[in-house]
Amino acid sequence: MNFPKNKQDKINSHHIFYNYFFFFFLFFLFFFFFFFFFLFLFFFKIFFLFSSILINMGIDLKNVGRIKKHGRKNLVSKNPYLRLLVKLYRFLARRTDVNFNKIIAKRLIMPKRFRPPLSLSKLQQHMSNNQNSVAVVVGSITDDKRLFSCRNMKVCALRFTETARKRIVDAGGECLTFDQLALRYPTGKDCILLRGPTKARTAEKHFGSAPGRPKSKARPYVRSKGRKFEKARGRRKSRAYKK
């Protein structure tokens, strides 16, 4: 190790020491400055994110964030003929890109409550101005004894009652199945889709506003019919309440 020999060498060595010390001091100063600066930015960003979440936060809504589609997507019935029809019309809906086939494929999958029967009288009423068209009903066609004369009509349905089929055929009409319809009218041209009344079930009469409320038309669920069972509700206090 070289020691300073004279006073000038001592002064030079002190200058070198101070220079190095000053350099390291500046280095650590800048290092700590940038370190704390980036640390401050990091915490500020986290605080800003949490504050924006707190500001935008509202009430918790249940089942939000997805669109839940209800309804059947596949056929539940074990009927092999119905399963073949679903397969056929799904194929037609995919290959022809016609809404007619898509609607039939959808209605074939539906439960029986959405495939209500249609009477001959209503059928004839709907087809009065469409003599050359084919009536298509995804459901049953039933006879109506109140109808005196049946017109010549082409009808396609899942099922016909015997008397309804006989009356249509005797009038010169035709009863088609859905596989015959697919062969003759694959795109649904000159076809009219019809449907029976879906709200005509007895169960539908119980739905709605509670029975007995003002302007309510709902039928009550009564265990029996008699003098003491929900008669004149709302008329007097002895019968539940008075309006």
Q: What is the pLDDT of residue 149?
A: 93
Q: What is the fold of 80-194?
A: Ribosomal Protein L15; Chain: K; domain 2 (3.100.10)
Helices (H), the chain: 7-56, 80-96, 99-109, 120-126, 162-170, 178-184
Domain boundaries, the chain: 80-194, 201-222+232-242
Q: What is the pLDDT of residue 238?
A: 75
In degrees and rounded to multiples of 5, residue 173 shows phi and psi of -85, -170
For residues 142 and 165, the answer to whether their CB atoms sit within 8 Å is no
Question: What pTM, to 2 d.p., does this model score?
Answer: 0.65
For the chain (243 residues), the mean pLDDT of every run of 10, in chain order, is 52 60 67 71 69 64 73 93 97 94 96 95 93 95 95 96 96 96 95 95 92 85 82 75 79
Rounded to 10 deg, the angle between the 99-109 and 80-96 helix axes is: 150
Place of tokens 């076809």: 191
Q: What is the pLDDT of residue 1?
A: 47
